[in-house]
Structure 1
Amino acid sequence: MDNDPRTATPEAGPLLLRPWLPEDMPALIEAHRDPVMRAKLLVPVTDEAEARRWLRVEREGRESGSRFSFAVIDRDLDDEPVGNVVLKYPAPGSAGGEVGYWTAARARGRGVAPRALGALTDWAFEAFAGDGLVRLDLLHQVGNDASCRVAEKSGYGLAEVLPARPPWPLDGHRHVRLRTGHVR
């Protein structure tokens, strides 16, 4: 495994997690055309300008060490991204971070999300253990049963229900996973 978080490419079986590339723009736009994704994501990507902006934000986050977004490649399918996983890491020395993910419609129901999230989680705890990372949160809106299943399959237990607050119109779930061997 690569020790530099900015160039890491975690793997899980046929899944490869790699940084997003400019040539991924068509797959990114196509994934965001899905009505399910549009209903759940805050930042829409509907055209090339928005895709370029999204890719720039992800690249800048990686360079600053505050956000590590990975295109999920299922090598059993092709070399096109079928999803995204992201670690939002507030700062070195912080005990906690947040993870998120999405899966393109064509890859749903194949176990991509829990395997990719598991690979991201394992990588994050290893890459940032020296910085004190011991807890990762996964947040989603109540009623998103698929995200609850992905969280549970990935070892993230339901910790609490969060009240709705902008920009989220519904209450949410906070799932938590602790680094192995760490107790609250």
Structure 2
Amino acid sequence: MNVTLRVNGTPSASALFLRPWRDGDVEPLVRVYRDPVLRRWTSLPVESVEDAVAWLELQRRGWETGERLSFAVHEDQSGTGEGRLVGNVVMKRTGPRQESAEVGYWTAAHARGRGVAPRALEALTKWAFDVFAVEGLERLDLLHQVDNLASCRVAEKAGYRFHQVLPAQPPFPGDGHLHIRQAGTPA
């Protein structure tokens, strides 16, 4: 599937370009995953080129099945649609004709604190509701560990309202937060 999402820049934030992951993203992915903070909050480790290749294959298969629609997020300062890798956003579905799906994201260390995650998440959210409304998508769920305060802020900035605390269960070793965004709800 050839999907490209653009997020316009502002005086304080550069534009973003979101596209499905490619084989050429191996090296940037390995570099970004060297960050211990990122590794703490993600469940799929990328510590080597081999890990990155396997991770990218998972993303490719996800697009084929429609169950894991993952986008590389790039900073697009030049307007060319290619730039430095700054993050990832993903929508996970268990199949077509589902009323809900789960979203997730991560941000590269060099891009944190600049609004990348909420802007990319908002682009993914709008796209998901636009594309999958015909299949009945009405709600997107965002889960994170209770102690991941940065993810809580991202969720709130992107219009995902806190819904409840969830007891610890894989992949979360501790209690988690569930945030929800309903179709038609502004950020």
TM-score band, normalised by shorter chain: over 0.9
- CA drift of 1:76 comes to 1.9
Match of 1:97 in 2: 101
TM-score, normalising length from structure 1? 0.92
Equivalent residue for 1:87, pick from 88, 91, 94: 91
Alignment check: 8 A CA contact 1:17 1:70 kept: yes
Map of 2:162 onto structure 1: 158
Higher deviation after alignment, 31-40 or 75-84: 75-84
For 1:16 and 1:148, locate their aligned partners in 2 and report how far apart those are by CA, in whole Å: 23
Aligned equivalents of 2:2 and 2:95: distance in 1? 18
CA RMSD across the alignment: 1.2
Q: Structure 1 stretch 98-107 or stretch 14-23: which is displaced more?
A: 14-23
TM-superposed CA distance for 1:10, in Å, is 1.3
Instruction: Give the Cα separation in 2 of the matches to 1:166 and 1:123.
Output: 28
Output the amino acid matched with 2:26.
Answer: M
TM-fit CA distance, 1:152:
0.3
Return 5+ residue gaps in structure 1 as ranges: 1-5
**Deviating runs (4+, > 4 A) in structure 1?**
none
Cα distance in 2 for partners of 1:70, 1:167 equals 21
Identity %: 53
Instruction: Measure, in 2, the Cα distance between the counterparts of 1:169 and 1:150.
Output: 21
Whole-angstrom distance in 2 between the partners of 1:99 and 1:175: 10
Aligned residues: 176
The whole-number CA distance in structure 2 between the counterparts of 1:34 and 1:87 is 23
In 1, Cα distance between equivalents of 2:2 and 2:136: 20
Q: Distance in 1 between matches of 2:145 and 2:170?
A: 12
Q: 1:7 — aligned with what?
A: 2
For structure 2, the 5+ residue unaligned runs are 9-14
Q: For residues 33-91 of structure 1, give each alpha carbon's deviation from its aligned partner in whole angstroms, at most 9, with x where no partner exists.
A: 10101111111001011000000010010011111000001112861311000000221
Partner of 2:75: 74
* Distance in structure 2 (CA, Å) of the matches to 1:121 and 1:136: 8
Equivalent residue for 1:3? Answer: none
